[in-house]
Chains A and B, each alone.
Chain A
Amino acid sequence: MRRGLTPLLWTLFSTGGTLAAFLFPVHLFLTGVAFPLGWLEPPRYDFALRLLVHPLTRLYFFLLISLPLFHWAHRFRYTLYDGLKIKHLTLLIVVFTYGVALAGTLAAAYTLLCCVP
């Protein structure tokens, strides 16, 4: 890993971690627990679509998906180093973790830019 990239990756890690800290619990609570168990009513389809069509919502979802993936990549990379003691596989780990984050970012960009009706 080139030294020049480290500050950028660390910034992505910390902004992604902050976004996830503030916004992920409420979203997962609603989508994964409260809606499926019928505690709260999920948004009707036309309302969900109307929200998603708005550019600000799409920007919101893009950041909400992309930056936390880079947070994961950075943190998980060091967990693999220290936890499993496989520092010698650095290149493989770096390509895998940041590769997944990049792929998720591209998939989110594509979905939000090209697929919203």
Chain B
Amino acid sequence: MSEPVRYTLYHPKWYRRPVSVWWWLQSWRYAKFVLRELTSLSVAYFAVLALWKVRAITRGPEAYAAFLARLQSPLWVALNALALIFLLYHTITWLNLAPKAMVVRLGGKRVPDRVIQAVNYLLWAAVSAAALWVLERG
């Protein structure tokens, strides 16, 4: 026997199940999504740190030395190491999504996702090595 048809008493749109503010802790998938979105805090933090460094350089050798000395405190190193972990998570998630953002066709064939990801990771390595090379010449 088939189930009896049940009619809702109210229009479905009028009832919304309340969702907790902590909805993203209910599953690892959601938590990873929110962690990925929160990497933006590390991004903003480093932009401000870069501005601070540029300002220190414009203010002279003493300000630059004070900037370098300030960052040597263990608290700053710990904060920066944590921010770096989030930045790496941003980079990895961003590069892994690259094939979704750019569809490349060569000779009428779509370039496989893996190839686009590999090119992006190689580019990341090259750009990082170039930045390291420039800064370590001095």
Q: Is the beta-carbon distance between A117 and B58 smaller than 8 angstroms? A: yes
Measured CB to CB, the closest approach of chain A to B50, in angstroms, equals: 5
Q: Is the beta-carbon distance between B51 and A108 smaller than 8 angstroms? A: yes
Q: Which residues of A (12-67) have their CB < 8 Å from a CB of B? A: 14, 16-18, 20-33, 35-37, 40-45, 47-52, 61, 64-66
Q: Is the beta-carbon distance between B54 and A108 smaller than 8 angstroms? A: yes
Please, which residues of chain A bring their CB within 8 A of the CB of B53? 31
Interface size class of B (residues with CB under 8 A): 35 or more
Q: Is the beta-carbon distance between A64 and B88 smaller than 8 angstroms? A: no
Q: Say yes or no: is A92 at the interface (Cβ < 8 Å to chain B).
A: no
Q: Is the beta-carbon distance between B81 and A32 smaller than 8 angstroms? A: yes
Question: Chain A's interface: helix, strand, loop or mixed, by majority?
Answer: helix
Measured CB to CB, the closest approach of chain B to A89, in angstroms, equals: 14
Q: Is the beta-carbon distance between A21 and B44 smaller than 8 angstroms? A: no
Q: Is the beta-carbon distance between A52 and B58 smaller than 8 angstroms? A: yes
Q: Total interface residues on A, using CB and 8 Å?
A: 57
Cα A40 to Cα B55 in complex, Å, equals 22
What is the interface of chain A, defined by CB distance below 8 A to chain B?
14, 16-18, 20-33, 35-37, 40-45, 47-52, 61, 64-66, 68-69, 71-72, 75-76, 78-79, 83-85, 100, 104, 107-108, 111-112, 115-117
What is the interface of chain B, defined by CB distance below 8 A to chain A?
19, 21, 24, 34, 37-38, 40-44, 46-51, 53-55, 57-59, 61, 64-65, 68, 71-72, 76-77, 79-81, 83-84, 87-88, 90-91, 94-95, 101, 123-124, 127-128, 131-132, 134-138
